Structure 1
């Protein structure tokens, strides 16, 4: 058997260390100022170790007293301590069998009201637990299983509703665990409903963007500047509609209006290709009718914010700086990474910003 050993150390005021380490045992570590005290302590600990746990885990004095008390209680019954533990475990596990769910739900709701929980939350719990009992036909406690909870959650109208159902049932189950009605919360570890993966955004290829601007030049020259801003500064139409002449600076465009979802204002890039387009076709906001006519000239079916999505995709590939592009676009770096990163190739990005210029 592995025993505690004495080690020489060179620490302030201490010269010897008594150390015992073994898997399954509590670590023992003591420092001493002289070898005699260390030897005495080491011998005492090894004797204690031999008596209390030569082949098993170290038993603390408190736990040892509990074991001795249990043995005294069982004395004369003919039941060993292991058998008694097995009987107690079986009784605990079967404690909730046959219990009606409906009274337990009302006990849970009354408990939440006594806690002075927000009434809106209590009503939500009440509605969701009632829906579960009715839809799943769960009448008794043994019907509350991980399988039934997960199946009911995935049957909800939306992933958010399914998650809220699990939240309510988990709170109810935790209440039952605390009351020792059940042993384990059945909602623990079950899979939560997830939102369907967002469809990949639609963008224009460099040639499609070039052809779109060419068609606008021929059919709607007064609208070219507006759509060039949407493409190269990746603005939303509502943001571009609020621009004034003073918003166009030397290298940036100040954006303060429109349906921004993140920042209340930002500086969009004023790239050389956009400047070339605006020198030829001054910026002007087209009417709603003109915008509908321009969308029909797009070489692909029009999608909401297709110009903005295209510009951001090429910009992030060109710069490789997610934070900078996020500031320019008014998004978070996480959105830029998930929606736009590596959506296009570098040659396409170079063509988009350098070759799409007025002839």
Structure 2
């Protein structure tokens, strides 16, 4: 207790005085001091027993408290001395349990230097907001999720940073555009700090998205990437799973649409001169529409016999080369060139030209069906999923799951025989050699056959479609 006894030299502490063997030897009054405040304990011996009287002054008025036990008297004297030294005059007027409660409350908030009524008011308001929940549990939750170590970062700023980081890492433009779209929708909904987000907010956000199961899952995957990025930068606690209430949806298997060889022949026959090479690249090389839109003629000519899809032009941000088949070589040879790009116009005009060719041919346009057709017929031709995965830029699992047994080898032979009739003054584009087109060797290892004119020029001439059907 660190209580000083004004009269005692032999006994240093109250505890020493209170030992049974020492009580009879204590000299009264005992003086308990705290700073300049002093409280005295007197002993009164009466026929009915011994009593201990605690006395102190408030101003000029003397106060007395009687106890039958020296321990209780000493504890009360120390409490009064502490209150007098702090100037807690109001507390001195309290009696019994109220006085003890007040003293404990003052001691509990002493380190924060706040008035007791302020603390009580804040506590009351907090409990009212929590609707009966524990204030301590709420404070612990806040400290764990938004307290020490968590930096405030607005959702919009965090979105900008992850997009910039992905661009610097060299991911594909397609991925960046997808990220901008999905995270753009997200940041428009939440104008707050990342650390302020809670699972219920995210669940309500997803409930408002009217998307197919696949798009819904893609959105969910994008946000998981974003939240993990925020956690690594300490904008969001690692203990928080904001997607815990957002379940992955079951994606319904949709049949893979492909064109028949006869449909493709009609499509090519009725297409404009500008869009014909684009149709051929999708049908006989399996290039995606986005890849065709970014493709230059130099990508076709740089590596004789192969089309080089650079990393920044591919969907997966991985460079790949695709062998040029003999019939594709003929379609590219008769193509008209209007600038460096395979398709020199806008994205919208590209898809309109594709659909216009289908309408003219009297067939139904099927989205992505040219690429699906290439993968299906190419798999039937070479019977090698891993090799086809390299050519198409897909995973073997996707190819095996969606394209197996969609076409027969005979149909594949017919598909890759569709070509324009050769013209005498047209130099074909170099084609991949037999190893690349037939054997199960790695495409990169194969050598291209064929050749071009010394100048590398290609002469465009109207020609009839050679239809093997």
Q: Which has the larger share of helix? A: 1
Tell me which interval the TM-score lies in, with the shorter structure as reference length.
0.3 to 0.5
TM-score by length of 2: 0.38
Q: Which has the larger radius of gyration?
A: 2
